[in-house]
């Protein structure tokens, strides 16, 4: 285990902010991970866990110890009549893993192709896209529990139920800095059917019936590449805001005022009909698409994505985000929630 000092994080955060970690370590095995955690505790330092850096907003240099998880490995564990179990270590690249499952004739994750980042981070916000959330196919998650370090159960397994997956949420966001995910186990149904529940994907295949999993994978990659900026070209963290969920009464009231409102019914939760409003539409309608504030701005093709045009900082993005939040609240009475996780918290 080698600690590096004042380590540059520019290439390890997808916004491309020029920030540093006071102390930084890359870990490739669980023994090194434990040693790194122990080092931070012995020196009374906060710990920051970093995967691919594609869902974080680093707003100042990171004090304490930044642990870059690079645990690698993936394998098929077993097959029952109904499911295939697959293990993947936290440091594996998510998109490459999805491609590997298809190459090994294990379809099911193709709707989540091209999401940047690592497999270990996938359960953190229950990544989702094109009609699928990763929590649907997660069987369990191996973690190091920082609150039980002195006990035997420090390394343990959380079941899918324990993970408490909901829209862009999980136990890992509820208890930030408690668990370090080291491995994820997937249980993928053996009987495969193309998931075309997302309208854009359904339209794509309107005249191409019965697509294979590879076709869906290619379609998702094509649509995403058209709509989202490549972080290597234009710094960003994907969607900057969640789609706000509102009650039926609020939805109907807004619909009356804004007949073009884009929203999706979410079914009944706790006895209440809920609707998800398209945050991108709300922001776009307020004229923000392509808006620039100094070195940062709103992506010209998708209003939900905030970008660093070069030389911007986390504080610049926060200023822009606040401007947007205030406007959305004033016009629609709706509060937007930020998706990328603040580092430091």
Ligand X SMILES: Cc1cc2nc3c(=O)[nH]c(=O)nc-3n(C[C@H](O)[C@H](O)[C@H](O)COP(=O)(O)OP(=O)(O)OC[C@H]3O[C@@H](n4cnc5c(N)ncnc54)[C@H](O)[C@@H]3O)c2cc1C
Asked if residue 308 binds ligand X (CB under 6 A), the reply is no
Question: In Å, how far from its chain's centre is CA 106?
Answer: 22
92, 110, 142, 339: the catalytic one is 339
Stretch that binds ligand X, among 25-33, 50-58, 274-282, 290-298 (CB under 6 A): 50-58
Asked if residue 113 binds ligand X (CB under 6 A), the reply is no
Q: CA torsion angle for 293, 298, 301, 304 (degrees, to 10)?
A: -170
Choose which of 37, 98, 127, 196 interacts with ligand X (CB under 6 A): 127
- Per residue in 287-320, is it b (16+ CB within 10 Å) or e — as a string? ebbebebeebbbbeebbbbbbbeeebbbebbbeb
Stretch that binds ligand X, among 33-41, 125-133, 307-315, 319-327 (CB under 6 A): 125-133
Residue placing its CB nearer to ligand X in the complex, 10 or 273 = 10
Choose which of 27, 129, 304, 320 interacts with ligand X (CB under 6 A): 129
Query: How many of the chain's residues bind ligand X (CB under 6 A)?
Result: 32
**Residues near 310 by Cβ (< 8 Å), separated by ≥ 6?**
16, 235, 295
Question: In Å, how far from its chain's centre is CA 321?
Answer: 18
Asked if residue 180 binds ligand X (CB under 6 A), the reply is yes
Choose which of 238, 244, 280, 297 interacts with ligand X (CB under 6 A): 238
Strands (E), 172-324: 179-189, 235-239, 245-247, 263-269, 272-277, 292-293, 296-298, 305-308
| Active site annotation includes 208 | no
Residues 61-80 that bind ligand X (CB under 6 A): 69
14, 168, 185, 313: the catalytic one is 168
The answer to whether 325 and 288 have CB atoms below 8 angstroms apart is no
Least distance in angstroms from the C-beta of 318 to ligand X: 16
Asked if residue 117 binds ligand X (CB under 6 A), the reply is yes
Residues tagged active-site: 168, 239, 339
């Amino acid at each position: 285990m080698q600690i590096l000092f004042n380590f540059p994080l520019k290439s390890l955060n997808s916004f491309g902010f020029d920030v540093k970690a006071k102390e930084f370590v890359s870990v490739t095995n669980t023994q090194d991970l434990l040693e790194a955690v122990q080092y931070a505790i012995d020196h009374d330092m906060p710990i920051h866990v970093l995967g691919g850096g594609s869902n974080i907003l680093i707003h100042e240099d990171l004090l304490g110890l930044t642990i870059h998880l690079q645990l690698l490995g993936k394998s098929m564990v077993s097959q029952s009549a109904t499911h295939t179990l697959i293990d993947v270590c936290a440091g594996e690249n998510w998109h490459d893993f999805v491609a590997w499952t298809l190459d090994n004739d294990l379809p099911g994750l193709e709707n989540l192709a091209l999401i940047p980042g690592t497999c270990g981070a996938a359960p953190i916000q229950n990544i989702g896209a094109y009609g699928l959330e990763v929590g649907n196919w997660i069987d369990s998650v191996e973690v190091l529990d920082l609150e039980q370090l002195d006990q035997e159960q420090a390394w343990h397994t959380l079941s899918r139920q324990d993970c408490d997956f909901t829209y862009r949420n999980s136990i890992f966001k509820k208890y930030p800095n408690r668990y370090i995910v080291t491995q994820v186990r997937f249980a993928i149904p053996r009987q495969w059917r193309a998931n075309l529940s997302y309208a854009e994907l359904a339209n794509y295949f309107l005249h191409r019936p019965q697509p294979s999993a590879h076709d869906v994978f290619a379609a998702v990659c094509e649509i995403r590449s058209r709509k989202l900026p490549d972080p290597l070209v234009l710094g960003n963290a994907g969607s900057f805001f969640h789609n706000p969920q509102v009650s039926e009464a609020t939805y109907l009231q807004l619909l009356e005022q804004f007949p073009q409102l884009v929203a999706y019914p979410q079914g009944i939760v706790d006895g209440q009909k809920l609707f998800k409003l398209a945050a991108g539409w709300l922001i776009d309608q307020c004229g923000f698409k392509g808006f620039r504030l100094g070195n940062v701005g709103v992506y010209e093709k998708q209003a939900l994505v905030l970008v660093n045009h070069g030389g911007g900082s986390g504080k610049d993005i926060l200023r822009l985000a606040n401007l947007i939040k205030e406007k959305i609240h004033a016009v629609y009475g709706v509060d937007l929630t930020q998706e990328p996780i603040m580092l430091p918290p």
